[in-house]
Structure 1
Amino acid sequence: MGNETTVNWFILLGFSNVTSYTLLLFAVFLCIYIATVLCNVTIIVIINVDDALHIPMYFFLLNLSFLEIGYTSVTIPKLLENILALDKTISLRACAAQMYFFLFFGATECCLLAVMAYDRYIAICNPLRYPIVMRKRTCIQLAALSWVCGCLVALGHTTFIFRLPFCDSNVINHFFCEIQPVLKLVCGNTYWNEIQIIVAAAFVILMPFMLILLSYIHIISTILKMQSTKSRQKAFSTCSSHLAAVSLFYGTAIFIYIRPKSSYSLNVDKFFSLFYSVITPIFNPIIYTLRNKEVKGALRKTVSKIIPKI
């Protein structure tokens, strides 16, 4: 931290303006957190125990489930604490750590969703080459690359922001240490700092998004050329879950990050942040489970093995 920094802790306002619904908010977010962890743990267990799911698509889904557990664990426990506690402070280091891990999991998810789109592209557009291209070693390398990219992006952003001086207000009008609300507390002119952050965010968010878009242009083109209606339906069904997850995650992430600080609305964007930080992690396992016959079949088999033992 720079010598000019005089703020050693922040106050996270969260949803303190809706004190009438404190217990209701606590109950809702607690239920969402428990459901998110349980659903994603269930997917991890199912994929590990069922040999039929030991294929690239489900290997990447396994990584995504790990991400979602980490993603929500960074924000919701502190949010739950702040809803009930009178002391809503968070130390400078804890705030930096929260921002780092949130960006780490978020940036990794951006890359992983692009890798999953590439997997679907190879499976549908080049099915004969699929076993050769998407070998186990290649899948591990692609997943590892996503995690490394997420780590580097988060480290760069967090180090860059927390080396700036904080010497004015220490009140963060958000429920976690998000980039834009924290950047508002920085002293002096942050125009170029803001531009650099937007450029970096555009690189992390838009580049994977463009790769996903390009993949699906080829996928849809290939599907439309298929003669069999059954083949088209099967191809669409394998992509629909991923498309739903991408739309939900990228829709709010692009809205939040790819724009200047001058257009930032604290209360409105705090609401939108709930979608990609709280809602998306619970929707992803539901989307992939309800729309996937293989996962539903594996879940039934696993439950049927466990219940008799109970």
Structure 2
Amino acid sequence: MSNSSSISHFLLLALADTWQLQLLHFCLSLAISLAALLGNGLIISAGHQLHTPMFFFLLNLALSHLGSIGTTVPKAIHNSLWDTRTSSYTGCAVQLFFFVFFISAEFSLLTIMCYDRYMPICKALHYGTLLGSRACAHMAAAAWASGFLFSLLHPANTFSLPLCQDNSLGHFFCEIPQILKFTCSTSYLRELGFIAVSACLGLI
């Protein structure tokens, strides 16, 4: 039985079987990516002029959204245009690192934004003092730091597991649940437990 050292690349999911459908997928993905780039770019440009906590966090959320799109969609567009399915082992690990980083940061920022909306409703008189510019900067930094921490722990834990099965991913980009299907031991339960703990910590 082979181990992870024999897996040099992964096969991504082909979203279309014919060239015409691949071209259609390329055009749709490109249009959606450009629309997301334009929308988030407008938020970022407006966020610099509006200095309220909501727009500050919205600016950070737009940056994380752009990062998560830029991590996954360009590879899918490239595969559709050039009719390829392969992703190297290292490329998959790098993509997974950045994807977890931006998604974790986005999850943390959404939690902070919920807190930002809670404060003016329940503690309106203390809103200005509790969510000043320094506090907002600290919370945003904590969100990005938690994303970086999770992006170090999850991919490292996932790729430390022995991989000994088929290398065909059932997705158009690398993600943890698909890679865990290739493990040849029950060690993947460790990563599943770690994901559950991370989700609980994010909710807290």
Q: Same fold (TM over 0.5)?
A: yes
Ranges in structure 2 where 5+ consecutive residues have no aligned partner: none
CA shift for structure 1 position 201: 2.2
Q: Does 1:161 align with 2:158?
A: yes
Distance in 2, matches of 1:12 and 1:155, equals 23
Shift of residue 114 of structure 1?
0.8
Residue 131 of structure 1: how far off its partner (Å): 0.9
- Asked which structure has the greater CA Rg, the reply is 1
Distance (whole Å) between structure 1 residues aligned to residue 185 and residue 164 of structure 2: 13
Q: Over residues 207-261 of structure 1, what are the superposed CA-to-partner deviations in whole Å (9 max), with x where a residue is unaligned?
A: 434x5xxxxxxxxxxxxxxxxxxxxxxxxxxxxxxxxxxxxxxxxxxxxxxxxxx
1:45-84 → structure 2 map (5 Å cutoff): 45-48=45-48, 50=49, 53-84=50-81
User: Alpha carbon RMSD of aligned pairs, Å?
Assistant: 1.8
Q: Map Cα deviations across residues 109-165 of structure 1 (whole Å, 9 max, x no partner).
A: 111111111111111110110111001111111011011111111111100111122
- In the TM superposition, what is the alpha-carbon distance from 1:189 to its structure 2 partner? 2.0
Aligned to 2:185: 189
Structure with greater helix percent: 1
Deviations 1:59-101 (A, max 9, x none): 0000000001001000000000111223321111110011111
TM-score (norm 2): 0.92
1:167: Cα distance to partner? Answer: 2.9
The 3-state SS of whatever aligns with 1:129 is: helix
- Return the alpha-carbon distance in structure 2 between the equivalents of residues 204 and 167 of structure 1: 27
Corresponding letter in the other structure for 1:162: F
| RCO comparison, higher one (Cα < 8 Å, 6+) | 2
Matched, 1:88 2:82: no
Pair 1:12 & 2:8 matched: no
TM-score, normalising length: structure 1:
0.62
1:42 corresponds to which residue?
A: 42
Residue 170 of structure 1 aligns to which amino acid in structure 2?
N
Q: Secondary structure at the match of 2:46?
A: helix
Q: Please give the alpha-carbon distance, in whole angstroms, between the structure 2 residues aligned to 1:130 and 1:18.
A: 56
Q: Does the CA contact (< 8 Å) of 1:169 and 1:185 recur in 2?
A: yes
Q: Is the counterpart of residue 202 in structure 1 residue 173 in structure 2?
A: no
Equivalent pairs, count: 202
- Tell me, which stretches of 5 or more residues in structure 1 are unaligned? 212-310
Counterpart of 2:143 in structure 1 is 146
Write the deviation string for residues 32-79 of structure 1: whole angstroms up to 9, x where unpaired: 00110111011100121x3xx201111000000000100100000000
